[in-house]
Amino acid sequence: TEANQSNKYRKLHPSWKNVLNNCCLFSLSALQYGLSAVVSATKASAGLPQAGDEYDFYRSFPGFQEFCETAFADMENMVCLLMQHHGCRAHMRDHNKLTGLEERFDLVVDSNDVILEKVGILLDEADGVNRSQQPVMPAGFQPPKIVVSSWNRKGSDSKRGSETFRLLHAKNITRPQLKFKEKIDNSNTPFIPKIFIKPNAIKPLPSYFTNKQIRKERPEDLDVPAALADLIHQQRTQEHVEDMFAHPYQYELDHLTVPERMLSKPEPQMYKPMAETKCSFIDTLEDLVALNEKLCRLSEFAVDLEHHSYRSFLGITCLMQISTRDEDFIIDTLELRSEMYILNEAFTDPAVIKVFHGADSDIEWLQKDLGLYVVNLFDTHQASRALNLARHSLDHLLKFFCNVDSDKRYQLADWRIRPLPDEMFQYARADTHYLLYIYDCLRVQLLDFNHGQPGLLQSVWNKSRDISLKRYVKPIFTEESYLELQRKQKRSFNTQQLTAFRLLFAWRDKLARQEDESTGYVLPNHMMIKISEELPKEPQGIIACCNPVPPLVRQQVTELHLLVKEARDIPLLKAEIGAQQKKGLTPVKKPEVTLFGPHDTSRTSESDFPPFSPDELPVKQGMLFSDDEPGKDVDMEKMKGLVASAKITLFEVETKSKQGSLTAAQVKASQIIESFHNPFRMYLPSKDVHVNKNAKFDPSTKIYEISKRWKLQSTEQQQKEMEAKRKAREEAKELAKKVSEERNKAKQSYQESLQNVATVRQQAAESAKGGGKKRERVASEVGESTPKPSKKLMKSAEKPSKKDTAPKDDFKPFDYHQSDFKVFAGAKSKDSTQFDPNRQAYDPSKKHKNPKGPKSNSSAGNRSLSYLAGKSDRGFRHNWPKR
């Protein structure tokens, strides 16, 4: 009764807290009211007596109980009504009272999902997205005025004008790739030039390109068994490797000289007003041929391209703009993709100058999609840089020389849209229309700037030629590709996170190639990082890391979930180690390590050691103190390459050899010196390890303790190994000489350490190998940065004579062999005749037209893919300079 009266208890059972929170759905008008109601309800429920605590006590009052039950029934009723209203399952009442609560809770959760999904749809609609409509067209072309896809929600950007154009990822554009005569090649193989005739050649095109048969030949076409076919194919292609990857116009470009007239001062020829200039749209072969003929007769023309890179793995060149002194042309490169090569006649004619602005990407796109090359290029961007103009973008040049205010908002339009909307058409046209006049002006300035001397102008021609020598390089996936991206992100991952990142990266790359989508479309970087960081336990958690959820992620969420699970299953280590393991496949020779501290892992990497073959490697694992005679230790010489000796030291003692001939004073002095022992030396396994003898046998010192423990440990190991060996060979060899035996052991333990490494790597890769080892270490111990001596071991170490004491696997003294040597274990000799993807690796630094580095994305707000604005690179492989 008391409970009933007290306001405090007229509240809800805690389990209803969530129910209430989740189920409150309100229309916009009710938002205010609903929100405050929810807030007070949440507050109230937080103040309730806790189940398992006070609650049970209060439950013993029948009045309280009764009240709770009525309140419960009321709420259940309300919730059911809500659920029914939304068309959800709602048979709450039928449930068993005992087991029912959980089920009911699930029902509520399900209903919430349904409701939230509806909310999402409604919000999308309010946002201007209509999921089932025709292609999105720009404003003015077709109502509605502002159209955005769900991938392209409006940002908080308040500039109306630009909003209108940030449409530009129309969902329902048919993929132009489908119409391409030659299918897109997303395979993980290097790009081979698309050229089979070479106009304006000084050096003829290699037979590989002219002979269609070789070029098109596939292993399966050969009329021999498959294995042999592969071999023959490989052999045949090997012969052509050099030609295949060379720039087809390398020779011509190398021998290109700028004619005198190009270095003299021109009279700038004013551009024709746009309105008075004819502009033709070219989408037939006939027109293209006519255009080519026209171009061949000119002394210069301006070129620009528009490209689309979101819904395609390698990107697609959608449009080519060409302007002559009197005419503009817009070429539909989607339609004429496989015919565009005929323009090579004009494009590679050294007598015809091709003017581009910022041609770096264009040169690559021309090769990649159209098989076009440029001989005699003038890049106005390079000229602007040589002149040290304030800014080097085309807008700036247009403003500066032509006083034209350009509008770069269409730059990121979806250039696949057909028919090409008029705004986009005009925009594209303006990109080249003024360029020849700008070219004139820039040449004048370059000469004036240099007091009439042609040096500066010449340097621009040279720079331009270098750009036209660029070769398109296809992104090649390697086992290490992910590290590059990871490094760029500057995140520190643990091994599980890094594994997840690696697996997701591989999944994304594969899917993107297969579906011909950009990696940014499949799974944007920031989402991939989020998933890797959070390692969600449930598929739902993966979805939660993505907003909005990319279609392919939603579709393959179970697949992704398995990958994340796989990553969770690997031992948790620090990130750096994981990264080292992955990339440490190619040891690099480094002559010397100047300072060496075995604990300083930051400085010791695989590259600190010269390469060696495992057979040559003597390893004295577990031997801190070598008791060998110096003379017998033949392997020590080889060790020197592996273990650096200190170059700066206080502890250089030269006493040993001449001990006999020393005076009493000298002996005393040397003993004093000896007492300054190098604290790190004890970690060095070599014979020149110097440890104070007294310290070594003085039970009060730390060294004594460690030395003893270590020695016992190694004795045990050795004994066990001996045992195994003896069994295997029976009585073949009774303990021969101690030296050879020692060496055997060393070798064996080294090999074992290799085995261990392999086991770990294999485990990570889930491949099966190395099962036959007798003594396997637990995977988690490998790579542990600071293994601690276990108490158990300390105990067992006290009874060294007991032969059958199993070595404790959980103890491992600091073992730099393992962390350092393992990198060699997997170092498979790469087939050097094979193509090396790293050589082709994309170098982002070369992309920047602006020497000051990537733009701090002043244009981010104008990006059409608003969900990534400023945050990620959208998976694009380019760092866009401002044009």
Which has the closest alpha carbon to 95: 109, 107, 82? 107
How many residues are there in the chain? 883
Site string for ligand AMP, 555-594 (x = CB under 6 A): ----------------------------------------
Token code pair at residue 761: 């790597």
Residues near Zn ion (CB under 5 A) are: 304, 431
Q: 855 — phi, psi (to 5°)?
A: -65, 145
Q: Are 423 and 141 in contact (CB under 8 A)?
A: yes
Choice between 304 and 440, CB closer to Mn ion: 304
CA dist., res. 317 & res. 334, Å (int): 7
Stretch that binds Mn ion, among 218-226, 298-306, 447-455, 815-823 (CB under 5 A): 298-306
The item of ligand AMP, Mn ion, Zn ion, none sharing an interface with residue 440, based on CB under 5 to 8 Å by kind, is none
The item of Zn ion, Mn ion, ligand AMP, none sharing an interface with residue 434, based on CB under 5 to 8 Å by kind, is none
Choice between 304 and 784, CB closer to Mn ion: 304
CA dist., res. 359 & res. 350, Å (int): 17
Site string for Mn ion, 248-287 (x = CB under 5 A): ----------------------------------------
Strand pairing partners for 316? 308
Size of the site for ligand AMP (CB under 6 A): 11
Stretch that binds ligand AMP, among 193-201, 302-310, 481-489, 788-796 (CB under 6 A): 302-310
SS3 assignment, position 110: helix
Q: Are 79 and 108 in contact (CB under 8 A)?
A: yes
CA dist., res. 393 & res. 672, Å (int): 73
Which has the closest alpha carbon to 267: 497, 443, 31? 443
Closest approach, Cβ 304 to Mn ion, in A, equals 4
CA dist., res. 356 & res. 301, Å (int): 9
- Span 849-868, contacts to ligand AMP by CB under 6 A: 859
Closest approach, Cβ 876 to ligand AMP, in A, equals 6
Choice between 304 and 873, CB closer to Zn ion: 304
Q: What count of Cα atoms within 13 Å lies in the side-chain half-sphere of residue 98?
A: 0
CA dist., res. 187 & res. 133, Å (int): 34
Element (H, E) at 319: strand 316-323
Closest approach, Cβ 142 to Zn ion, in A, equals 24
Closest approach, Cβ 507 to ligand AMP, in A, equals 25
Closest approach, Cβ 416 to ligand AMP, in A, equals 11
Strand pairing partners for 378? 355
| Residue 300 near Mn ion by CB under 5 A | no
Element (H, E) at 449: helix 435-449
Closest approach, Cβ 872 to ligand AMP, in A, equals 12
| Residue 306 near Mn ion by CB under 5 A | no
Site string for ligand AMP, 395-434 (x = CB under 6 A): ----------------xx--x---------------x---
| H, E, C per residue of 581-650 | HHHCCCCCCCCCCCCCCCCCCCCCCHHHCCCCCHHHCCCCCCCCCCCCCHHHCCCHHHHCCCCCCCCCCC
Closest approach, Cβ 343 to ligand AMP, in A, equals 18
Which residue is it, tokens 């104070």?
692
Which has the closest alpha carbon to 462: 295, 655, 263? 263
CA dist., res. 331 & res. 603, Å (int): 56
| Residue 883 near ligand AMP by CB under 6 A | yes
SS3 assignment, position 473: coil
| Residue 752 near Mn ion by CB under 5 A | no
Closest approach, Cβ 435 to Zn ion, in A, equals 10
Stretch that binds Mn ion, among 302-310, 331-339, 589-597, 675-683 (CB under 5 A): 302-310
SS3 assignment, position 355: strand
Which has the closest alpha carbon to 756: 784, 729, 728? 784
Closest approach, Cβ 361 to Mn ion, in A, equals 7
Which amino acid is present at 212? K
Residue of this chain nearest to Zn ion (CB atom): 431
Closest approach, Cβ 306 to Zn ion, in A, equals 5
| Residue 364 near Mn ion by CB under 5 A | no
| Residue 784 near Mn ion by CB under 5 A | no
**Residue 548, preceding bond cis, omega within 30 degrees?**
yes
The item of Mn ion, Zn ion, ligand AMP, none sharing an interface with residue 412, based on CB under 5 to 8 Å by kind, is ligand AMP
Among 163, 252, 300, 306, binds ligand AMP (CB under 6 A): 306
The item of Mn ion, Zn ion, ligand AMP, none sharing an interface with residue 233, based on CB under 5 to 8 Å by kind, is none
- 637: how many CB neighbours lie within 10 A of its CB? 9
Choice between 708 and 883, CB closer to Mn ion: 883
- Span 473-532, contacts to ligand AMP by CB under 6 A: none
Choice between 252 and 304, CB closer to Mn ion: 304
CA dist., res. 141 & res. 420, Å (int): 10
Token code pair at residue 683: 């970690």
Residue of this chain nearest to ligand AMP (CB atom): 880
Q: Integer distance in angstroms from the first to the last C-alpha of the chain?
A: 78
Which amino acid is present at 71? A
| Residue 304 near ligand AMP by CB under 6 A | yes
Stretch that binds Mn ion, among 118-126, 303-311, 344-352, 807-815 (CB under 5 A): 303-311
| Residue 304 near Mn ion by CB under 5 A | yes
Closest approach, Cβ 477 to ligand AMP, in A, equals 22
| Residue 377 near ligand AMP by CB under 6 A | no
Closest approach, Cβ 297 to Mn ion, in A, equals 25
| H, E, C per residue of 684-720 | CCCCCCCCCHHHHHCCCCHHHHHHHHHHHHHHHHHHH
Q: Which residues are near ligand AMP by CB under 6 A?
A: 304-307, 411-412, 415, 431, 859, 880, 883
Q: Which residues are near Mn ion by CB under 5 A?
A: 304
